[in-house]
Amino acid sequence: MLKTSLRPEHALLNEDTDHTSAQANPAAPRIIGRAEHPVSRRLIAPNALKVLYKLREGGHQAFLVGGCVRDIMLGIEPKDFDVATSARPEEVKRLFRNCRIIGRRFRLAHVFFGREIIEVATFRAASAPSQGEEPDLDPDIVPEIGAVADDGDDEIDALPPEGDDDAQDRQLDVQGRILRDNTYGTIDDDVWRRDFTCNALYYNIDDFSVWDYTGGFEDVAARRLSLIGDPETRYREDPVRMLRAARFEAKLGFSLAPATEEPIERLRELLAQVPAARLFDESLKLFLTGHGVKSLQVLRRRGLLGVLYPTVGAYLDKHPGSLVEKLLIAGLENTDARVLAGKPVTPTFLFTLLLYGPIAQHIEALPSDRWHETGAILDACDRAVYEAQQRVTIPKRFSVGIRDMFAMQPRLEQPRGRRALRTLELPKFRAAFDLLVLRAIAGMAPRETAQWWTRIQEVTPEQRAGMIEQLERATAKLGNGNGNGSGSADGDTESGANGAGPPRRRRRRRRPAGPA
């Protein structure tokens, strides 16, 4: 159980709502001794300890900081470990041969131990951006996405000189959003680059104590999410903090402090000004890290989904409780289960689920006899992706996957003889099949068809040949065939986009002309 104790007599930073005055007069930290907290070296990754010890041996301050400290206090195994230090990035690189420096707007050192990365950040001046200002990748989805920062951050070998004004200047836009900041400071300053109090706890490798400047120790115990400083100022500096608040609310089950919650409704439209690549990165953290269903609920409740994905939010609001909503929730539940089981997840499937409603809406705007046309389906996919990309980047490798999954649905719903065997060999089959299964569960595709495709993947080659022969006889017996008649996307009509739709006419084969 997490131990708590009374606050010290001195003021904590978060008790001063004046951001400027609090920075100018930083309070001394409350130092929580090893006997009073549950953070043990046994719970810290060995490679993180190596980095901490080597920095200390090099004459630098070194602290474990951020979500790893918070998670250990909550009894959760951290996925990664971040280090804050007094060493400059180039000094870190000299200490570790296995180190690379990344970032232009916000330089960080990454120390590599095989596939494990320990992120090392130099203490920032009080004006520096939060950790969320630089997109970082969740280890569960890095192999899947290969995402990059919105400003093209990459490895930098030629570092600017320390006195270079271009590297040191702090820039903000007219809305107060931080554009660039690489000024360095002390640990007393560094707390201001943290966004929430629960992420501003520093574990000191010198004496194994935890340093708390902001009251985060009590907030973790109370499972409460509080922004550091004036919430409106902090949201204006970086609107993505609103999404981070929603993510921690969903992931940790924390409640938002009233002062942290109140400005979100007024300021949420500021997210429209955030670079689309950052919102792509945040989308993956929201939906592909094991709490996608809860993230969807929180985003809708706080009105953030409609800002992040306007067409998705509008569709769900227009069709509450629809089959599309059930499909989206079932898909996110499946994704959450895969993450918890340590299985890979893909952004392609996520965006297919999110955009299913807008895509179906574009298809259903066409005459019903065109709903199964591949061209019409692909055009609808392109339009829905284009609309979503006005806010969130969707890389081409994922938008192409969305097209493939949708275009294969009519073929999967109406398997035909030997063609079905060729379909099994297609690289895109598995993803399209997974979508078919979800649609069948939601009542949007014939359940018996999904079961047929499931079985044909499981049986022996001899049994598979028998299934194909049986399918050919059934097709011949049906003649012109009957439609399967599944519900529409919104569940209001008898047939719909990517359901079985109306019966499809079978073309008559022309007889060859006889001799003249």
Q: Tell me the one-letter amino acid at 70.
A: R
Does 195 qualify as catalytic in the annotation? yes
Q: What is the C-alpha to C-alpha distance for residues 278 and 326, in angstroms, rounded to an integer?
A: 28
Q: What is the C-alpha to C-alpha distance for residues 133 and 60, in angstroms, rounded to an integer?
A: 25
Would residue 140 be called left, alpha or beta, if left means φ above 0 and alpha means ψ between -120 and 50 degrees? alpha
Q: What is the C-alpha to C-alpha distance for residues 401 and 268, in angstroms, rounded to an integer?
A: 31
The pair phi, psi for residue 122, each rounded to 5°, is: -75, 145
Q: Helix 323-340 crosses helix 347-354 at what angle (to 10 degrees)?
A: 160
Does 80 qualify as catalytic in the annotation? yes
Instruction: Select from 303, 198, 332, 191 the least CA-distant residue to 254.
Output: 198
Beta carbons of 87 and 58 less than 8 angstroms apart: yes
Q: Tell me the one-letter amino acid at 200.
A: A
Q: What is the C-alpha to C-alpha distance for residues 231 and 162, in angstroms, rounded to an integer?
A: 32
Q: What is the C-alpha to C-alpha distance for residues 481 and 501, in angstroms, rounded to an integer?
A: 13
Residue whose token pair is 């985060």: 216
Q: What is the C-alpha to C-alpha distance for residues 479 and 462, in angstroms, rounded to an integer?
A: 26
Catalytic residue among 71, 82, 150, 238: 82
Q: What is the C-alpha to C-alpha distance for residues 209 and 256, in angstroms, rounded to an integer?
A: 27
Instruction: Select from 249, 261, 259 the least CA-distant residue to 295.
Output: 249
What are residue 121's DSSP bridge partners?
84
Instruction: Output the CA–CA distances (angstroms, integers) from residue 55 to 52, 91, 115, 183, in the order listed.
Output: 5, 9, 21, 20
Transcribe 12-70 into DSSP letters: PGGG---HHHHHHSPPPPEEE-GGGS---GGGS-HHHHHHHHHHHHTT--EEEETHHHH
Does 189 qualify as catalytic in the annotation? no
CA dihedral 25, 31, 37, 43 (to 10 degrees): 90
Catalytic residue among 80, 189, 230, 490: 80
Q: What is the C-alpha to C-alpha distance for residues 435 and 411, in angstroms, rounded to an integer?
A: 13
Catalytic residue among 189, 195, 212, 404: 195
- Secondary structure of residue 355 in the 3-state scheme: coil
Q: Show which residues are catalytic.
A: 80, 82, 195
